[in-house]
Amino acid sequence: MKLWDKGFSTDKKIDMFTVGNDRQLDLIIAKYDVLGSIAHAKMLHKIEILQDREIVIIEAKLNSILQNIEKGNFVIEDTFEDVHSKVEFMLTEMLGDTGKKIHTARSRNDQVLVDLHLYFKDEISEIKNLVKSLFDELMSKAEEHKAVLIPGYTHLQVAMPSSFGLWFSAYAESLIDDVYMLNAAFKIADQNPLGSGAGYGSSFDIDRQMTTELLGFETLKYNVVAAQMSRGKTEKALASALSTVAGTLSKFAMDICLYMSQNFNFVSFPDELTTGSSIMPHKKNPDVFELIRGKCNALQALPYELTLISNNLPSGYQRDLQLLKEAVLPAIQTLKSCLEMMTFSIENVRVNTKILEDPKYDYLFTVEEVNKLVQDGVAFRDAYKMVGAKVEKGEFKPDKNVNHTHLGSIGNLCLEEINEKMITALK
């Protein structure tokens, strides 16, 4: 059941090694393979490869296969290499010689490219929706707790006053940068490679603009060699975007792990969101956030992994590129699950409103004291030394009333402006 079958068979060990996990992974992109085949069939009808009667029955059978896929009834048995061979077999089995015409003017190379480009576009859109959900939750928490001060840190040393409003909205605005990266990956994927064939086009007078419009691509990848070279490049662009989102989640998860510890005690979560110890009855562990941190740290290695697979390959298709699916497709699902779990958890976060009552945080306000002296006419370096001397002698008494008014500060979070930035980024 091979599209390249010429009447001889390969050794079973070779089959197992070369097919790898393709059958399982191809179930994820099966829907897009059928959609690509429907568009291709309509184009073949336009250029008179398929007759009127043939396009009607081919389209009907492809839609029937699509319904089976959507119901979860589609299977790629071990007798098939991949989704492409299974779909073509089903058409041929149903329609005889008419089904055999579907592969005219295309190759498995441009088939898998179309499948992946369509799949990536849908997944990027879904990830952006998940990012927006987390963004909205963070912005809501920033508004709700904007007046609650917390310590800010540099070098993990108590530094200057921050707030929950500043902390939550910091991660919200960071997600906007991640959306920019997702947009870039979407732009790269939103180019139709169908019609590039094995990488060198076709002698058939195919209508590539037609399939571009039918499949909802913004444009097409005009040069057929460039279309084939997009395999690997598109995945690396997507991996970079996934990695950027993962970096934000990993850092946020690390903050939460710190802030949940008894040494900090800034935030807590309901018991049902934590786990316990097998021997220590008092433990409430942040396993969810530790796993998000670990999974997202692993995701940040993905661009390098893909680079090592595809680096220095010559133009044209090479079988190494099959391995990209094994890395990228599971990574997409991992990131989505981390986004969903982070949003769910933050909905239930509890903040400590009395953190700064602990005297160990008194030194947060030394800069405030220096600034007041400067406003009273003392030179900054002299004011710095005066306050430093009080600290050394144990005489510093903090004034915990802060008055930060500039854009993006504790007293002026610019939540409306940040929200507008996200709305614009998502357009």
Report the alpha-carbon distance of residue 230 to residue 234 in Å, rounded: 6
Residue 360 CA to its chain's centroid (Å): 40
Tell me, letter by letter, the H, E, C secondary structure of 352-411.
Answer: CCCHHHCHHHHHHHHHHHHHHHHHCCCCHHHHHHHHHHHHHHCCCCCCCCCCCCCCCECC
Determine which one of 64, 125, 277, 315 is catalytic. Answer: 277
Confirm whether 155 is a catalytic residue.
Answer: yes
* Backbone dihedral angles phi then psi of residue 154, each to the nearest 5 degrees: -130, 140
Contact 400, 150 (CB under 8 A): no
CB contact at 8 A, 346 and 134:
yes
DSSP assigned state of 311: T
Residue type, 89: F
Q: Is 277 a catalytic residue?
A: yes
Cβ of 71: how many Cβ atoms within 10 Å? 8
Contact 62, 93 (CB under 8 A): no
Report the C-alpha gap between 205 and 193 in whole angstroms: 16
Cα 288 to Cα 274: distance, rounded to the nearest angstrom: 7
* Strand (E) or helix (H) holding 162: strand 157-163
Q: Which of 9, 155, 203, 406 is catalytic?
A: 155
Q: In Å, how far are 120, 124, 173, 177, 412 from 183, measured between CA atoms? A: 12, 8, 16, 10, 29
Question: Which residues have a catalytic role annotated?
Answer: 155, 277
